[in-house]
Structure 1
Amino acid sequence: MIDWITPNWPAPANVQAMFVTRNIDKTTVASDAYAGLNLATHVGDDFTVVQRNREQLQRYLPQAPRWLTQVHGTKSIWIDTAMTESNDATLEGDAAMSRQPGVVCAVLVADCLPVLLCDSAGSVVGVVHAGWRGLAAGIIENTVNELRKFSRDNQIIAWLGPAISSRHFEVGEEVRLVFTDYDSQAACAFSKRKKEGKWYADLFTLARQRLSSAGVSQVYGGDVCTYSNSEKFYSYRRDGATGRMAGLLWMT
């Protein structure tokens, strides 16, 4: 058995979602950097172990996810179309979307924010990998706009999964300015540190602001910190070398 969090949001009955933690059988993991259910092949873990982890996860899914090569960018990919039109083993982007039942959208995270999206009609789903760079560049807005192109009702709802909280996410003045120059209201997502030129950033608040600007008013989650719980979550800021967890959703 693997351990996951089921989003608490009013998604329609045909939308299934989960956030997979690092734990197996809900037990405390060992102190090794990749101990537990690491799902990423690019972080230095043994490839065969990662493949075995992915196979274990697949038992709970209708089919294997089409894993993206994430680059902290703004590209959103319709993976159901990409799977039929491309023979490329890698899809480079930071959001996976689908309008076909059984196609599993997935992103890998270890402090960055996974944003799960669907419409209230249950006709489209998408999941976003939102670090500060992607948030600032518009990955959330891009994905919401893409989903609306095929949504039956355009009523998008969102769930914010576990990510590093503002208590631990230290950034420089240049990062704060990227957000506040775009929208002065983003200033409320930053709190001053005693250290010169350093701030604590609130990814959850920044994501809510971007969702609001995209016309998404139903936003849930956004209250679980990856950094502060090493037994349950991987955290890049906390550990450096570490595994990755996954946010996944699909339609039945």
Structure 2
Amino acid sequence: MFSRRLRNLIMAFVVISISSLIILQSNQSFGAKQKWKYTGNAGCKCHLSKGCFEGEEYKERLHSHTFDERLKTDEEKKDPECLRCHATAYKMKIKRGKSKKGSKNFIEDVACEACHGPGEAYVKVKKNYQKKGKDAFKKLLKEDPMMARKVQYDTGLYVAGINKYKTIKEQCLECHWEDVNDKNKCPKCDKDEKGKPIVMKFKKYFKLDDHRDHDTIDDVLPKVDKKKWKGYLEQDPLFKTKPSNAK
């Protein structure tokens, strides 16, 4: 009888210990420190410079001015649910670039970093790659574009369909929705003539918002060693299509 009680006591202790470990791990993952800060679009000057295809396309899209376009009241501009999708880096660490309204908790609009990750470390790399000066990374982009991509992604940047998100659609659905019954859809979303919520037709919207351009790396990708560069190569089949807007 005593041995049975002892066995039960040991089993209870093991269960409690495992449960505590799981809870501890969960708390650690939720409380993980942000490694790099957001810089705002000030850190993306090259891409947003006049004449750059990617930047010009971005400026034409609602993402670039969604904060004032969609959030009409002061309440909406402070609402966490609204800021989650109509602002960038809400309650995250921001190095430069803050809301025009004076908030330190977010960057207005869907900035570049909303989809491509915090740019603090990458900005430093561009300015002085391997302590060889401001032109060193430009040289790497031309001479070894795959290594340049590795450097970009290793400093915290990402592109949906390559790293972090397996598909572009997966990232888009963080804020958009395809089902009128989606529980996460915005209660103030656009309605059609019959008053039904307008859902995102992904292929249509992707074609409209596609800001890929033909770069040096596109000439290299078909020949690269897929095993060597695993984790840095396109996974989403959409990348096999020709950019619809590229010139």
TM-score range, shorter chain: under 0.3
Task: Tell me the TM-score normalized by structure 2.
Answer: 0.27
**Structure having the larger proportion of residues in helix:** 2
The structure richer in strand per residue is 1
| Structure-1-length-normalised TM-score | 0.27
Instruction: Choose 1 or 2 for highest CA Rg.
Output: 2
